[in-house]
Structure 1
């Protein structure tokens, strides 16, 4: 019985059930005593046992709300109740009806599977005691109806009520499941709409970013080239003209480098002919070859082609995280982990470098799109970005994106 919840009673019933069943038991006991006194002499022993049984029933009031926490007290109370009923049944057959009070008490005092044993004991013990020690061999017909038919009808009603309760619970569960499925479908539609809006916002953000890049690099470089050419035309000596033309050459070379970098930032070439796991593995090999840092790339789960925006985001974040670790962290090992986990895809980039304080101003040499830009890029595709680092403890970049297939 330990760990089993007793018969379910609603919160209001918890307050009323104990007094109610105690009152019903005492009322039945008084009725049996009056009926027995009307038919024959009721001795002092019978009255004493009846009084003790009535007092015992009053213990149900404080016991009932504690029956789940103290199940053995409930067993002791029920055993005492049956003992009183059996003793009264041996003294007068009329008290057999009093034993019937134990049937409803058994159903509410114990859990369903244990109430079966309590009901069986209620049916057997008083009749068995009366057959062994009883002196009255005759009893009115209603006594047998109350002690046999009545409990059977109550048990049938109880089983039917439990079945109705289960049917209602199953119907409510089915309705809740239907509502949940509808909510999931609506959520999927809203998520797709959110991703579309985020994609559009990402396009605008990317255009603004490219505009800033062109203004800060190509436009300024071309302006410098024009200025130096004009200065060369006005130069009064060959040496001065040569110096300006050298600066033109440097500015043109730098501008060409910036132009190539800007074009490459628009579309990762490794993703055009390869799947994302292969592209990340190739990126790791390339960084290892160029920097000497040991970079590993692992993929877990079942890889599925994702929307291009999602794969580009994951690739760019990995690319920038590796570049930062290579340039600033002075790491000896870098691990790239791509995980396909059902509804989401996870990217982790961890290094054993010097680390830094994330709360301090970000450092950089102007290349790449930086930590803030990584966050914005991830946010534009409805993902989450997390960064963990501390001085001397390396750096970990974590990205989580919705795993939306490419054919959706």
Structure 2
């Protein structure tokens, strides 16, 4: 592969390290510095020409050298032609400026003011070794030309002269390098701030996406909860009504049996109407209105036994206490669903519902002596009591939704046991 470095454009140094911090006036500062040699040259020329001690010949000589120097500076420094702008054109412009300043300073020491411009041009020379050399040469000339030049200074005051040149060069170079480092750090901080701002904007976008996803997840969870509520109340009630009306039709001439079935269907219809109205308002189980969980479960178990014709018992153990409404509603719905499954699938003769209050948990157990089902995942997939409708998956979801634990144990011919264990969150914990 070829050398790709030649394809990368070389970054030219800025006009001056001293003007870099002036960001708001960067353009104005660059223009002033570009014209600085001409401005200093003009000031020194005016002062020199106005000197009353100069003769007319000296004045015309100063004017002539000034015009030549101005032309050289414009050609090499202020506005060089495109073909002059090579890699080392700054070095050439610096040498031309320093040469003109040296000639004029030897002609009149007041042009030392013009020589100061060479310091600014030396600062932008690269590599840094060339910059140091330019600063050292400028310092050596600016302190010796008014007295005759570097050779004269070395002969008359060598130690002081050398110390001044070295100290001045080191001081200016150190200031420039420190300024460049500060500017580089400032640029890095600005880049980091820009990256941080971009990251914050990206995080804000991700946060909005998470909010949308959480809202959609909440809506889906609410739909599922509504589906289970409808299944546990309206669907089961309508199924019971249909069962009672079907039995009444089959009763034939048995008027008393048919009437009893119809009365039961009407009672179910009224209860379902009440449940539907509650679902519209708050979806809080009506059985829990004005009564505790144990009383509600006892009433549900008794009504279910009367309608299904299956013997049912309800019992409690432990210290009965009020629980969080969501906990009580979940246990009630699980009980209703489990009893509905017993009536539909188990062909049981006896069912036991037990609630056990533990220090930090509440356990609900529903057991029957029905036909049971195979607890093997392969064979139970064909079992209607397991895979159809909301049934066991719905109960499990309800319990797990409140950080509970749900277990089903069954064996063909040995009945089924359903256990739901949930946190015993007290009613007073509700905000």
TM-score bracket, normalised by the shorter chain, equals: 0.3 to 0.5
Query: TM-score, normalised to structure 2's length?
Result: 0.37
Report 1 or 2 for greater relative contact order, CA contacts < 8 Å, sequence distance ≥ 6.
1
The alignment's TM-score, normalised by the length of structure 1, stands at: 0.38
